Structure 1
Amino acid sequence: MITDAPAPAAPLHYTAFSTDPAGGNPAGVVLDATSLDASAMLATAADLGYSETAFLTAPPEGLDAEPGRGFTVRYFSPQAEVPFCGHATIATAIALADRIGPGDLTFATLAGTIPITVTRSPAGHLLATLTTVEPHTAPIEDADVTEALAALGWPAADLDPAFPPRVAYAGARHLVLGAATRERLADLAYDFERLKALMLRLDLVTVQLVWREAADGTTFHVRNPFPVGGVVEDPATGAAAAAFGAYARELALVPGDAVLTLHQGADMGRPGTLTVTLTEGDPRIRVSGTGTEIPA
């Protein structure tokens, strides 16, 4: 763990995918959770109220990491533990870089080992890039798509036929649905309990709602209902962005070598930008974003 300063008694507050504390997705970060069991972590996350809080403890034996830069990380929403959370990973990496400097980090998570690199931009902002576990996609039953649309209040005609519904995974499972228009994406008012029940049955973490700008084919606007975490909507969702990158590549919606720009949170008043990098020959997905501490 970090040894040059005592860990804070309370979680740190960081936002990911924005340099503005009022933008992006806030996350709690507990740099030393050694004394906390799972119930205490869940209670802390619930008290904080962010979509996720990350809890760090010592790395497992044998983790391939630089000395002092490897950690075990667990992620809790206000209602449940999740196997992996992208925005809390970015936030945690930047919180660590603020204390031990930029460089490489390695997180042991329930989803697998996640390497992260933190650099500093020419403008002086910290930028974190995570590399996912190997992703995949899976089909979803037509009846489940019908139920998802009913919970969302979306007619089937509001789907973009270029984006067939799939479940995509890059550390956590997300249902991907393509919106035919930006107006459809902007109008989000869904049945919280109905969608939550479907997601629990299908073991989904969020629903990734996507609309593609026509200009260049690699710019998207996304939204993420997150009722299973007790949150109506996630402002910026790194795990879902990674899963969507795998989905878009597998369905040949983008080139095998591509950099995707995802805009999220604008409809909530917390705009953020997620960069998803696909590399030919490497199945893993890279998600990058800035972040900053939220003043107390």
Structure 2
Amino acid sequence: MSSHTAAEVLRYTAFSADPAGGNPAGVVLDASRLDDAAMLAVAADLGYSETAFLTAPDGRGGYTVRYFSPKAEVPFCGHATVAAAVALAERDGPGALVFATPAGTVPVTVVREGGELRATLTSVEPHSEDIAAGDLTEALAALDWPAAGLDPALPARIAYAGARHLVLGAVSRERLADLSYDFARLEAFMHRLDLTTVQLVWRESATVFHVRDPFPVGGVVEDPATGAAAAAFGAYARELGLVPQDAVLTLHQGADMGRPGTLTVELRPGDARIRVSGTGTRIG
């Protein structure tokens, strides 16, 4: 038996109050005795797209958090952040937390709304950048999308709010629903551009979007609810003037996988950082 069996692995879903919805994450509230190999082994054994590993260096509400997919460590993961915060709130009560992540400092607050716990994370400083024409062509080829499948109102860009995501706008809900891609080809493309997910977006209305996130670099075909990509998308939408400076956006994700979840993205004037919130609950 390897040493990682000593760690208690909790299972939570994020961005849904229903254990069958949202995005499942592993949570280890005390990972102080685990080395990198053990953390990767726990994440691979669990098989969820991400597991969060916490250590409490100061005993005063601050936590160091690392995130592992079944294949590799990632710098930041939104849904595992929400899952970990909800787990801490169930243990210690709602309140304010500070997570020191490889991407930077992420404050998280948890409140109780009725019978549900809702966590809000504040992203690191976001930014976005253009994607080269040749890279966009390769992304579309790997996804098996025609150029006509892109929504010209949502320009292709790489957006960052703790991790890098390629944002591509889908011309219709039907285009978004039809996800069948070349896993190895998209994985290689994403490694070359250091992308965590590709975020496919269809705009339903001024503030409502439907999103899907292929995640081959994490070893899974699709991520059911992606908080880091939601934060990056909020920054992207504001930077391009697609939404007001003080918008609250609703992102629906996971429905096509049978795991519906809802992510709330809040933009505040004069504050570059993006707030992403959602409910969470323990699984079984």
Q: Which residue number corresponds to residue 288 of structure 1?
A: 277
Partner of 1:203: 194
Deviation at 1:69, TM superposition (A): 1.2
Give unmatched runs, 5+ long, in structure 1: 1-7, 62-66
State the alpha-carbon separation in 1 of the partners of residues 124 and 225 from structure 2: 20
Please say if 1:246 is aligned against 2:238: no
Q: 1:38 is matched with which residue: 33, 36, 39?
A: 36
Distance in 2 separating the partners of 1:231 and 1:80? 12
**Separation of aligned partners in 2, 1:68 and 1:126:** 21
Displacement after TM superposition at 1:118 (Å): 0.3
CA distances 1:114-166 after superposition (whole Å, capped 9, x unpaired): 00000011x22000000011000011100000000000000000100001110
- Whether 1:53 and 2:51 are equivalent positions in the alignment is yes
Quote the residue 1:188 is aligned against.
179
Conservation of the 8 A alpha-carbon contact between 2:12 and 2:283: yes
TM-score by structure 1 length? Answer: 0.93
Are 1:81 and 2:79 an aligned pair? no
**What aligned pairs does 1:1-296 form with structure 2 within 5 A after superposition?**
9-59=7-57, 67-121=59-113, 123-214=114-205, 217-295=206-284
Runs of at least 4 residues of structure 1 off by over 4 A? none
1:58 offset after TM fit, Å?
A: 2.7
Supply the RMSD in Å over aligned alpha carbons. Answer: 1.1
| CA-to-aligned-CA distance 1:38-62 (integer Å, 9 cap, x gap) | 1110011000000000001133x7x
Runs of 5+ in structure 2 lacking a partner?
Answer: 1-5
Letter aligned with residue 143 of structure 2: L
Give the aligned length.
Answer: 280
The separation in 2 between residues aligned to 1:38 and 1:9, in whole angstroms, is 13
Identical counterparts, % of pairs: 77
